[in-house]
Amino acid sequence: MSKFANVLKIVGVVAAVVVVGVVLGWLAGHSPQGGSSSPPAKAGHPGDLVPAVSPVARLETNRTPRPLVPHPSVPVAARSPGAPNPNLITNWEERVDVILITEEPESEKAKKMLDIFPNLPEKGQVEVARHLSNLVSDGDYASLSRYLTDSSLPQPVLDILFGDILNRPNSLKLPALLEVARDPENANATQAHDILELFLGEDYGTDWNVWQVKVDQWLRDNPN
């Protein structure tokens, strides 16, 4: 064998050794610590698999649990002011006509109209309020006075009832006006206040106790 061939053989052996060394070094650098790339076996039956735990799940288990705060119970309202009335009377015109054409006394007609009044639509309440102004006697006015001070009623209805009380005797009118005046939610409160001032000749502001005393005194001095 020539000298040149021997040189090539030696170079090939050296190159092979270098390549093997590089490969072994790369494998050693990428092996997990401990020298084994397989996960440790879980104690138990042979062949059982260890479930993988995601980083998110690991973080969740390390969190400190927060105490549960109970939500307060919210009472259920019977019916809000703007909610539909389940007892609304839609055929109110027929009902009113039937009441009016009967031969019953006016007091009985007024009683029946007062019974249906809360369940009427606004148009029906306006119509019935006019009839009640004529049908309810002074002696029975207490049954109607509660609607005069009901600020939740539509304004047209309150205006009719307010006009009615102005035509009643002073013994009914002044106490009713005082109840309206002391309610800031009532749209007729200012007008009632002004009328009381005309009767009493003084303005007592919002001191309703003084107003009451002065109204009582005026009625004693000015009987019907």
Nearest to 126 by CA among 160, 164, 170: 160
Q: What are phi and psi of 35, to 5 degrees?
A: 85, 5
Residue 13 belongs to some domain of the structure:
no
pTM for this predicted structure = 0.62
pLDDT at 9: 53
160 in a structural domain = yes
CB 41 within 8 A of CB 50: yes
> Looking at residue 213, what is its pLDDT?
97
- Residues ≥6 apart with Cβ < 8 Å to 93: 124, 127
Query: Does residue 146 form part of some domain?
Result: yes
Residue span of the structural domain in which 194 resides: 92-221
∠114-94-100 over CA atoms, to 5°? 55
pLDDT of residue 40: 45
- Residue 173 covered by a domain: yes
Is residue 183 included in any domain, yes or no?
yes
In a domain, 159, yes or no: yes
Backbone φ and ψ for 140, nearest 5 degrees, come out as: -105, 15
Handedness of CA 119, 120, 122, 127 (dihedral sign): negative
| pLDDT computed for residue 31 by the predictor | 47
Average pLDDT per consecutive 10 residues, the chain (224 residues; last block may be shorter): 49 50 52 46 43 40 39 37 76 95 95 96 96 96 94 94 97 97 94 97 96 97 86
Q: Among the residues of the chain, which ranges form H helices?
A: 3-29, 55-62, 92-101, 106-116, 122-135, 142-148, 155-166, 170-181, 189-200, 208-221
72: tokens are: 């307060």
Q: How many residues does the chain have?
A: 224
Q: What is the pLDDT of residue 85?
A: 77
Query: For residue 174, is it within any domain?
Result: yes
Alpha helices in 77-188 (DSSP H): 92-101, 106-116, 122-135, 142-148, 155-166, 170-181
- The pLDDT value given to residue 68: 36
| Tally of domains within the chain | 1
Residue 25 main-chain phi, psi, to 5 deg:
-65, -40
* 141: in domain: yes
